[in-house]
Structure 1
Amino acid sequence: MRKAFVIVSALSLAAFALQFIFAAVGAFTKPAGDDAYALHSVNGMVVIPVLTLVTILFAVLAKAPGRTVGLAALPLGLVVVQALIAGLANGSTDAAGASTPFGLTIAGLHALNGIIVVHVVVSVHQAARRLANLPATDVAPVAVREGEPA
């Protein structure tokens, strides 16, 4: 299960890297229609959440420490924040439908949150690799107080 955890965390990291590429595709598509960000949207709203859930599952099955399982779950919450930020940025337009300074600032937070979530996913992948390199008996050690049975 540890190797599977490493593999799925690497796939998740790849999906997040592709997310930046898909955002650039949307930004540089001319003319920019409603479907310019289709790849970005599908990857961010379907592929990434599914891979994150699978990563959480494999972290649990690999008997990763609770902190690592929690770290594996964090991208799911950050993806929800991404969707909220994007919705707020897209909704922050003037009467003519043009971007406002407030909307553009919020859009910048969307990019910043994307960078943060990539750092989290990198940390998850590093934790998975460390776990995979431990001997099977070293998984999720439990602290035992002196005098208590192990």
Structure 2
Amino acid sequence: MRRFFAALATLQVLAVAAQFFLAASGAFDTAPNEESFQPHRVLGSGILLLAVLVTVAAAIARMPGRLIGLSGLVAGLAVVQFVIRAIAKAFDGAAGELVFGLHAVNGLAILAVAGMIARQAGQLSRSATLTRQAP
């Protein structure tokens, strides 16, 4: 189960990295914003669901409490992304743009935490495999 958790954590990192690509491609698309950022929004919802799944898998795999907590933190930060977008839309002009800048900063935090989870999950998965193989 630890290897499954490590694989999910790695998938989460890849999804977040892809999210940055989709944000950049949407920013430079000539289509209207609602259309050009649609793939970014869809993957954002998928990342939220994946973060919840990673958290559940961490608990089932009996990972250390800190790792379960970090997994839950990614889910919480993903929810914050939707909150930031809603608050930014409530403001007009420069104020909304400033608030929306937090969306990218929060995305970097998600990437950093997801990377820590994947790294630690990989280490724990490898050590569990080595322990089982030792005579």
Common topology (TM > 0.5): yes
Identical amino acids, percent of aligned pairs: 33
Q: Is the aligned partner of 1:114 residue 2:113?
A: no
CA offsets 1:48-83 (integer angstroms, 9 cap, x no match): 022112211221222101111010111111011111
Change (3 A) 1:126 1:33: closer
CA contact (8 A) 1:5 1:62 kept: yes
Q: Counting helix residues as a fraction of each chain, which structure ranks higher?
A: 2
Map of 1:71 onto structure 2:
70
Tell me the distance in 2 between the aligned counterparts of 1:67 and 1:112.
23
Tell me the distance in 2 between the aligned counterparts of 1:21 and 1:116.
16
Give the AA of the match of 2:36: A
- Structure 1 portions without partners, runs of 5+: 94-99, 139-150
CA contact (8 A) 1:44 1:79 kept: yes
Tell me the distance in 2 between the aligned counterparts of 1:109 and 1:18.
19
CA contact (8 A) 1:12 1:51 kept: yes
Tell me the distance in 2 between the aligned counterparts of 1:89 and 1:82.
11
Compute the TM-score of the two structures, normalised by the length of structure 2.
0.90
Give the AA of the match of 2:101: G
Change (3 A) 1:33 1:135: closer
Give the AA of the match of 2:12: S
Map of 1:27 onto structure 2:
27
* Cα drift, residue 31 of structure 1: 3.1
Q: After the TM superposition, which residues 100-111 of structure 1 pair with which residues of structure 2 at under 5 Å, given as runs?
A: 100-111=93-104
Compute the TM-score of the two structures, normalised by the length of structure 1.
0.81
CA offsets 1:13-53 (integer angstroms, 9 cap, x no match): 111011111111211110324211100100102x1022112
Give the AA of the match of 2:9: S
CA contact (8 A) 1:26 1:32 kept: no
* Cα drift, residue 107 of structure 1: 1.2
CA offsets 1:59-116 (integer angstroms, 9 cap, x no match): 12221011110101111110111111111112211xxxxxx22111111111101101
Cα RMSD for the two superposed structures? 1.7
CA contact (8 A) 2:19 2:44 kept: yes
Q: Is the aligned partner of 1:134 residue 2:127?
A: yes
Give the AA of the match of 1:35: E
Give the AA of the match of 2:62: K
Tell me the distance in 2 between the aligned counterparts of 1:31 and 1:62.
44
